[in-house]
Amino acid sequence: MSEDRLRLIRSRLETAFEPEQLELVDESHRHRGHAGAADGRGHFKVRIVSHRFRHTRPLQRQRMVFEALGDLMKTDIHALSISAQPPTAGDPGGN
């Protein structure tokens, strides 16, 4: 189930943002027994770098990620730690 969940999350983020970098980590194992994890949804950490985040503020980037994940935020994801950044001048594609 976890691998399917990771693939689905990754697919949604790749489709929405065409990221230059995407790291997705399932941290659910660290939250076993946590009241919020009792319903089977997972805890994840995402680090994403995309040109789609240019000229946006951090809160707007988080909202964009939540929107891209849509119903997964209700069905599969209990907690999500997000680092969403635009590319910097030194990164490929950061012109």
The H or E element spanning position 9 is helix 2-17
Per-residue pLDDT, averaged over 16-25, amounts to: 98
Across the range 16-21, mean pLDDT stands at: 98
* Residue 55 contacts residue 82 (beta carbons within 8 Å): no
Superfamily of domain 2-85: BolA-like (3.30.300.90)
**Sign, Cα dihedral of 47, 62, 71, 77:** positive
Q: Are 37 and 31 in contact (CB under 8 A)?
A: yes
CB atoms near residue 29 (< 10 Å)? 10
What is the model's pLDDT at position 70?
97
Domain assignments of the chain as residue spans, ordered by start: 2-85
Q: Are 84 and 62 in contact (CB under 8 A)?
A: yes
Q: Which two tokens stand for residue 32?
A: 């076993």
Mean model confidence pLDDT for the chain = 87
Structure confidence by residue, pLDDT tens digits, 26-66: 988 765 666 555 666 889 999 999 999 999 999 999 999 99
Give the position of tokens 């999350």. Answer: 9
At 41 the pLDDT is 80
